Amino acid sequence: MEVATQPKYSQIEQVQRDLREGKLTCVQVVEYYLDRIEASRELNIYIEVYAEEALAKAKAIDERLQENADDLGRLFGVVVSLKDVLCYKDHQVTGGSKILTGFTSMFSATGVERVVEEDAIIIGRVNCDEFAMGSTTENSYYGPTRNAADPSRVPGGSSGGSAVAVQADTCLVSLGTDTGGSVRQPASFCGVVGFKPTYGRISRYGLLAYGSSFDQLGVLAQSVSDTALFLEIMAGPDEFDSTASQRAVEPYASNLSFERKAKIAYFGSALDHPSLDPGVRQVCQGLIDQLRTEGHTVEAVDFDYLDYIIPAYYVLTTAEASSNLSRYDGIRYGYRSANATNLMETYKKSRTEGFGTEVKRRIMLGTFVLSAGYYDAYYTKAQKARKLIQEKTFEIFEAYDFILLPAAPGPAWHLGDNVDDPVAMYLADIFTVQANMVGIPAICLPAGTHPEEGLPVGVQFMANRFQEADLLAFSQKVMDAFPKS
């Protein structure tokens, strides 16, 4: 199988410069990515490719380039893929689930709409865990996606298709979603940049809901600068999502210089965690040493709440999921069982036949923690734990700019590992879930290669609420300092 080692373009400004200078056409750019999609077919990245439509849009952009290049949107020539949980008007979206087979969106997600308005070209929708529930992209109705660095390995999840789409150079940028690390953990496994903004920074309108108080749109890209530009374009108030922040959007993309010395905290309890792979620890330690050499302050701090994050997270997200997924009932859209004879059977059989096992498991757990008699013991208790975790995290940001954490406890594992043990699978999210619990921005940067396994390893930085500008500028500095391989 042909797998790209070097992407054709790793930044938007490169492709736009070549287009302006007439070195190639937008049609050629789309053709290049379509070839890449074809060459990487065995990785099972795309559920659907919009080849003709993408070529037609490219042709129109080429014509506009001839007329007046200054009239083009900020994302002209940028080829984008969408995780199969983001609505794109008049295109199918299924959440990687049988239950939404054949469903066509009547509107676009706000984030998608804003990107398309800036002349980005959507080339297709990519695979993910069913309704974003999973850490490997194995829980999809469309079969597993494979890691381009080693196709016997998982790409991570749930935005695994998005991560491999960028890793295998089938698009320049992919939009994913992050409920508990679903953008950052696959970015770590695939060696790309994965970013999740503050809760509410980007509208959730048009994102198939999983855990509404955790879900955020995220960006997977080759570079921090592309990530910043996409955030700048998608962020901001939205009349269709009242939880979207009213705060003004900063010019993240033109503000990427970080001149001061940062104060960075890391958790001793994380780097010494028994579940942390020694190779990942080595990569983290290497980065810490490098940051110190560059004059930044990097200090270990105590954080005694790490082991409470996952239990609280699974109580809260499954509760929200059981409620959100009640809309899939086989009546107004999606799959309806042909085996039902009355209304109750229609609900039950459509849902039973339409959902995969992991989704059913989470709906059952969520139904349990919300049910009369157990609500306070589980759901309220987890909400209180969330409050404590949030307060303790905010305390750290009183003294530090960023928190450094691994993105995942190890490198990508093999397909089929952990599938029989949900608890082990859930615990693998231990380092990413905190950002969603607290609602803060976080980014995973490709920090190196695993010393034994030769696989990509990412390192994560978190910042305080709405400190995206600082986080991205600092990330740019970190990326600049990495030796170019």
Which backbone phi and psi does 473 adopt, to 5 degrees?
Answer: -65, -40
Q: How far apart are CA 270 and CA 275, in angstroms?
A: 9
Comparison of 33 and 214: residue with beta carbon closer to another protein: 214
Instruction: Single out the residue of 39, 381, 449, 467 in contact with another protein (rule: CB under 8 A).
Output: 381
Task: List 217's β-bridge partners, or say none.
Answer: 177
Comparison of 15 and 235: residue with beta carbon closer to another protein: 235
Q: How far apart are CA 210 and CA 388, in angstroms?
A: 23
Q: DSSP assignment of 76-145, as one string?
A: TT-EEEEETTB--TTSB--TT-GGGTT-B-SS--HHHHHHHHTT-EEEEEE--SGGG--SSS-S-TT---
Closest CA to 305 of 461, 444, 459, 434: 434
364 forms part of the interface with another protein (CB under 8 A): yes
Instruction: Single out the residue of 465, 471, 473, 474 in contact with another protein (rule: CB under 8 A).
Output: 465
How many helices and strands (H and E) does the chain possess? 17, 11
Secondary structure class of 71 (helix, strand, coil): helix
**Contacts with another protein in 418-457 (CB under 8 A)?**
422-423, 426-427, 439
CB 172 within 8 A of CB 15: yes
Instruction: Single out the residue of 152, 254, 285, 380 in contact with another protein (rule: CB under 8 A).
Output: 380
> Beta 297-301 vs 263-267: how paired, if at all?
parallel
Instruction: Single out the residue of 52, 67, 376, 398 in contact with another protein (rule: CB under 8 A).
Output: 376
Q: How far apart are CA 182 and CA 96, in angstroms?
A: 14
Instruction: Single out the residue of 5, 21, 295, 332 in contact with another protein (rule: CB under 8 A).
Output: 332
64 forms part of the interface with another protein (CB under 8 A): no
Binding mask 241-270 for another protein (x = CB under 8 A): -xxxxx------------------------
Clarify whether 81 is annotated catalytic: no
Comparison of 48 and 345: residue with beta carbon closer to another protein: 345
Taking CA atoms, 150 is separated from 1, 154, 244, 278, 411, in Å, by: 11, 8, 38, 20, 11
CB 320 within 8 A of CB 214: yes
Clarify whether 158 is annotated catalytic: yes
CB of 364 to another protein, least distance (A): 5
Task: List 241's β-bridge partners, or say none.
Answer: 238
For the record, the structure tokens of 142 come out as 């469309």
Q: Which of 97, 174, 182, 188 is catalytic?
A: 182
CB of 275 to another protein, least distance (A): 13
Contact window for another protein (CB under 8 A) among 34-42, 60-68, 237-245, 467-475: 237-245
For tokens 């496994």, what's the residue?
189
274 forms part of the interface with another protein (CB under 8 A): no
378 forms part of the interface with another protein (CB under 8 A): yes
| Residues binding another protein: number (CB under 8 A) | 79
329 forms part of the interface with another protein (CB under 8 A): yes
Comparison of 21 and 423: residue with beta carbon closer to another protein: 423
For the record, the structure tokens of 399 come out as 């003294």
Q: Which of 10, 40, 57, 83 is catalytic?
A: 83
For the record, the structure tokens of 113 come out as 């709409």
Secondary structure class of 377 (helix, strand, coil): helix
CB of 475 to another protein, least distance (A): 23
CB neighbourhood size of 70 (10 A): 6
387 forms part of the interface with another protein (CB under 8 A): yes
Binding mask 340-359 for another protein (x = CB under 8 A): xxxxxxxxxx-xx--x-x--
**Contacts with another protein in 280-319 (CB under 8 A)?**
307-308, 310-312, 314-315
Q: How far apart are CA 339 and CA 406, in angstroms?
A: 48
CB of 15 to another protein, least distance (A): 34
Clarify whether 212 is annotated catalytic: no
Instruction: Single out the residue of 361, 392, 417, 479 in contact with another protein (rule: CB under 8 A).
Output: 361
406 forms part of the interface with another protein (CB under 8 A): no
Instruction: Single out the residue of 30, 122, 149, 385 in contact with another protein (rule: CB under 8 A).
Output: 385
Taking CA atoms, 16 is separated from 31, 54, 56, 323, 384, in Å, by: 16, 17, 18, 44, 49
Catalytic annotation, residues: 83, 158, 182
